[in-house]
Chains A and B, each alone.
Chain A
Amino acid sequence: MTAAYRQGVLRYLGIWAAWLAVAVVTAFQTYAAGFAGGPKLALGQALVNGLIWYSAWAALTPGVVAVARAFADDRRLGRLLAIHLAFGLLFAVLHAVLYSAMNAMIYVRAPWAPWSNGLLITKLATSIHVHLMIYALLVAIVLGARAYRTMRDREVAAARLEAQLAEAETAALRAQLQPHFLFNTLNAISALVPDDPIVAQRLIARLGDLLRLSIDQRRSQHSALADELDFTDTYLAIEEARLGERLRIVRAIAPGLKTVQVPALLLQPLVENAVRHGIAPLIEGGTLTIEAKPAGDMLRISIADDGKGAGAIREGVGLGNARLRLRHLYGERQSLEIDTAPGEGFRAIILVPR
């Protein structure tokens, strides 16, 4: 038995239990009303009448829920009212039919049954307002539960995105504070101090920028493409100083994309990957190519190196996190493709809405 099936059965039993409770309460009320001058009924008969009346509603409830759900996202109020009025009337008729049928089945053999052929018409005529109210109540419960669930889902999704962003931040900071990077950078700066103090000063500023950007507390999920590219440039300025001519960089950013919003901290780890694992391990170094261009209503960003490449793509924390964030931010309207082979370089292509 699948979990979904079990849940369905439980929900159905829940519906019946709720209506049963209503039926019992109503039956006792009808019985009690007999003492206060209302029509006198035996307790047993009051119970049977209540059960018939409300079990018909219990049988119809899944149908009402289905209708409520089908039109839950309709925002045209007039249309919505008309639809629900029509369905309300339909369910009222269905209830009368069910009720009469059950009445006939139960009471037809009992001589004291208050059965008549006119019951259907009578019931319909006297209680249609009650049916419409019950119908409205059911629809309200369905829509309310739905709104509550949507709100909770949204909160959960927001918390999840926050957590992934925090993870990306931690990863960026860790990369910046990675001992090899930090000490080698400091060493490179130190070498520049005597003869090129201006360049040394610039590199110190870049390292400062990089650390500041990595520990920025007020980061939002998105940031402008231009800002994200600045971040990678800050990092690349340092790597260029360290690796010298072994690191060659080609940038091809199509005009008019500067303000397009992209996920914050998504490009930086990919650029670092390319330099650290693609280009730096090779004596000859390699070329890093950063491209951004429109592709229909999407933005296509490609980060590629012609370096070491990899056989089996091991999706570490970085790539995995990037994938999850893209999915949670854009659903199916995104993609992250990796193209690599040993000695063939590594290319990551990201598509996001623009």
Chain B
Amino acid sequence: MIRTLIIDDEPLARRAVRQLLAGADDFKVVGEAGHGAEAVAAIGMLRPDLVFLDVQMPEMDGFGVIEAIGVDAMPLVVFVTAFDAYAVRAFEAEALDYLLKPFDDQRFARVIERVRRHIGTGDGQRDGMRSLLGGQGRLVARGNGAAQLVRLDEIDWISAAGDYAEVHVGGRSLLIHEPLTSLEARLPQAAFARIHRAAIVRLDRLVEVRPGTHGDGVVRLACGAELRFSRRYREPIDVYLTR
């Protein structure tokens, strides 16, 4: 029996999954969760083998649930989403299971078939999830409440905002619930550099460096932003300019 938890903020969306699962004898629905926090508690308590995880939920979204549980403790996941072209491409790229709303028995059957294959192999999905959430060229950020996957090569710069980091992507800004220092450690060193206590820039976005009188100065980015760099963090800029 594959013990399954259904996570979605819309009752009817949970019902849709439940109905189609009723036709699969080897699946047993052990519970439902209507929001992220409830999902985290339910996963901890019920220890399901599989979760159908809605990506967009109020307050804590699907990616937030995985972050809260930790990839290693996560059951197998089928991401359920109504629309997010970039996320879907990312699911594809990482060979993760996902289900597009609205779905019918045929699409559902294909997903279930994949789940049956994956459930035996164990760790296959964990690498994909890890890489989805921040390893290979992506970060999960939240703008206006909704989770978004941001590609690292789209980021212009990142500023500190208290416990949060504010990621500036093509004129938009998205929040990541993570202090700048710990975020810095997860970014590839060749591409990003800390230039100030409260700012990280993507080095290939630099278009101008204006040195000041005390070893500090100002950099201008391709997006037009002008940021101060301090003496303490000037080394990566020098290195980047001479290479």
Which positions in A face B, CB cutoff 8 Å?
A: 179-180, 183-184, 186-192, 194-195, 241-244, 246, 280-283
A353 CB to nearest B CB, Å: 36
Task: Tell whether, in the assembled complex, residue B34 and residue A283 are in contact, meaning their CB atoms are under 8 Å apart.
Answer: yes
Task: Tell whether, in the assembled complex, residue A186 and residue B12 are in contact, meaning their CB atoms are under 8 Å apart.
Answer: no
Contacts of A180 in B (CB 8 A): 56, 82-83
Contacts of B37 in A (CB 8 A): 283
Contacts of B59 in A (CB 8 A): 281-283
User: B138 interface residue, CB < 8 Å from A?
Assistant: no
Mask for B1-27, Cβ within 8 A of A = 1, else 0?
Answer: 000000001111101100100000000
Grouping DSSP codes into helix (H, G, I), strand (E, B) and loop, the A interface class, with mixed when no group exceeds half, is: helix
Task: Tell whether, in the assembled complex, residue B82 and residue A192 are in contact, meaning their CB atoms are under 8 Å apart.
Answer: no
Rounded to whole angstroms, the CA-CA distance of A189 and B15 in the bound complex is 11
User: B102 interface residue, CB < 8 Å from A?
Assistant: yes
Contacts of B16 in A (CB 8 A): 187-188, 190-191
Contacts of A190 in B (CB 8 A): 16, 102-104
Rounded to whole angstroms, the CA-CA distance of A282 and B145 in the bound complex is 10
Mask for B53-67, Cβ within 8 A of A = 1, else 0?
Answer: 000101100000000
Contacts of A192 in B (CB 8 A): 12, 15
Mask for B157-196, Cβ within 8 A of A = 1, else 0?
Answer: 0000000000000000000000000000000000000000
Give the size of the chain B interface in residues (CB under 8 angstroms).
22
Rounded to whole angstroms, the CA-CA distance of A246 and B58 in the bound complex is 11
Rounded to whole angstroms, the CA-CA distance of A74 and B112 in the bound complex is 81
User: B101 interface residue, CB < 8 Å from A?
Assistant: yes
A305 CB to nearest B CB, Å: 14
Task: Tell whether, in the assembled complex, residue A194 and residue B102 are in contact, meaning their CB atoms are under 8 Å apart.
Answer: no
Residue on B with the closest CB to A245? B11
A-B contact pairs, 22 of them (CB 8 A): A179-B83, A180-B82, A183-B82, A183-B83, A183-B102, A184-B101, A187-B12, A187-B13, A187-B101, A188-B16, A190-B102, A190-B103, A191-B13, A192-B15, A195-B19, A241-B12, A244-B11, A246-B9, A281-B58, A282-B59, A283-B34, A283-B58
Task: Tell whether, in the assembled complex, residue A283 and residue B35 are in contact, meaning their CB atoms are under 8 Å apart.
Answer: yes
Rounded to whole angstroms, the CA-CA distance of A180 and B102 in the bound complex is 11
B155 CB to nearest A CB, Å: 23
Residue on B with the closest CB to A190? B102
Task: Tell whether, in the assembled complex, residue B82 and residue A191 are in contact, meaning their CB atoms are under 8 Å apart.
Answer: no
B108 CB to nearest A CB, Å: 11
* Interface residue from A179, A244, A282 paired with B10 (Cβ < 8 Å): A244
A-B pairs with lowest CB-CB distance, top 5: A191-B16, A179-B83, A183-B82, A187-B101, A187-B102
Beyond the given A183-B82, A282-B58, please list 12 additional residue pairs across the A-B interface where CB-CB is below 8 A.
A179-B82, A183-B102, A187-B102, A188-B13, A190-B102, A192-B15, A242-B12, A244-B11, A246-B9, A282-B59, A283-B9, A283-B35
Rounded to whole angstroms, the CA-CA distance of A246 and B8 in the bound complex is 13
Task: Tell whether, in the assembled complex, residue A191 and residue B34 are in contact, meaning their CB atoms are under 8 Å apart.
Answer: no
Rounded to whole angstroms, the CA-CA distance of A255 and B82 in the bound complex is 41
B94 CB to nearest A CB, Å: 22
Given contacts A180-B56, A180-B82, contact A243 B10 (CB under 8 A): yes
Contacts of B35 in A (CB 8 A): 283
